[in-house]
Structure 1
């Protein structure tokens, strides 16, 4: 019996929108219906490359189409809420790029709209599909290191990211942009343990001096209800000579062991006459002409959830908890004091 493919619309045609378009195009049960971007030039480029029918600068044009079943929100961090709410009200399943929202109030607006509409929705915390993190979760759940008691996580980017890769760096911070993945992973590893208090400090000056009004770096210690603690570090001023775009490391210390997750080099090193680098291979690699990796697996999971009526792996309650921790981090930065989550 022939099964109609899941029609997908992508809102946003930047780095992540492009990656999602490639992932959708590689899935046999999905069909890219269209892409929206402002201006519409990038949307036209993606539909031409991946076979979409509609390229527009008005995302509502996609939401009214009956052949769109899943909407992927791939706009900048601070522009998720209105689109996600509108998609839910249009009765569409939703995959939202991380973080769910950049305020707790906005996260609650999205969740309320999704619950009212009764549509499936998931935040695209694609790191849960990176093999080493998925294996770490399985080991922790199996009791290999005992109950987690402490974690340290860092994601530090080259200065290229806020100065040249992102045109909207002032609309976010390194914590919102980078630590959201790590906070989701550590909370996933910790299980039902809930964060209760945050104390955060930040460093400013380099980016401010370049006219980009956002912190250079943020460190936050998070205390959980069980007494466990986790430290999250994010930085945007690594020199562009660093051999990888992102220095990424997570440590989980349990009562009977420790897990280290170092993704700095991802097993590939390339030296040429002009540079030495560690290319990223986990999230959006193209393998034999087909986009693969963690983002494609997360998209595949969501497409199959829509097709089969299954609940997504990442719940909106978990995504709200990540936003609540990040909200507390920024309140602590502003106040200079510990704050409740």
Structure 2
């Protein structure tokens, strides 16, 4: 298949490279000319274990290329992935200006009589697929309502193991009501699910919500364990033993049960905020998420009183070493 990936950040570069690895012809487009030049010359712009080898192989074999021209990139594309940033706004909601801006440009490029699947790969609020469709139609010079479908296909990549996550996914979530789009997306992902891991088709809104729900649930687990850790300190229990005891229950699982100074990174904080904001937009008081965010803010400060107590409140002239600056192992984030 001919695939275009718009955006060469973390998600876009992993997505484009992995699709090229399964034999597709992939063009990645970005407005950053210096980044495109580096990538075109074989200089990878992010660190992710296993990615560079696939990137260089597919670049050399001509299945992967890069450009700054959107019109050149989408020409003859069967599928266009939107892998663009959705940073949090001042109110915590996801800012869709980059996605909707590109959608408006696509409206001028899609031709009647053609058919293209437009895929939201970014993490976006419920209802974004409809907004993308409207933005495309608003700038079209002709009736292209039958020339494309907008699909939600959220990514579930973990930094440090993103290539494995993409090539061997636990599941692939695809939101679309179009039978034509279902057929194309099924064919695209078939090489990745040969071990029996499912492609789960659903409506667009459910797919959009699935990503936020997944990340928010993991944030709930982290905040819950931090609360348990606080209680263990006061009761004289060992939180590590408690973690092992409850993690052995297969209904709970062992992952995301390590107490610490709170969740962070590029996804959890903004996704929890965005889901909470979406709830507020429909007048729903998402009390659990309110508590999760509050616990997380307080937890960030939990170590400071311990340090002050250890040094009898005398921190003047002390030198402190910070072990570990990256957000997690095997990343440059």
Q: Which has the higher helix share?
A: 2
Alignment TM class, shorter chain as reference: 0.3 to 0.5
- When normalised by structure 2's length, the TM-score is 0.39
Bigger share in strand: 1
When the two structures are superposed, what TM-score results if normalisation uses the length of structure 1? Answer: 0.39
Q: Which structure carries more relative contact order (alpha carbon 8 Å, separation 6+)? A: 1
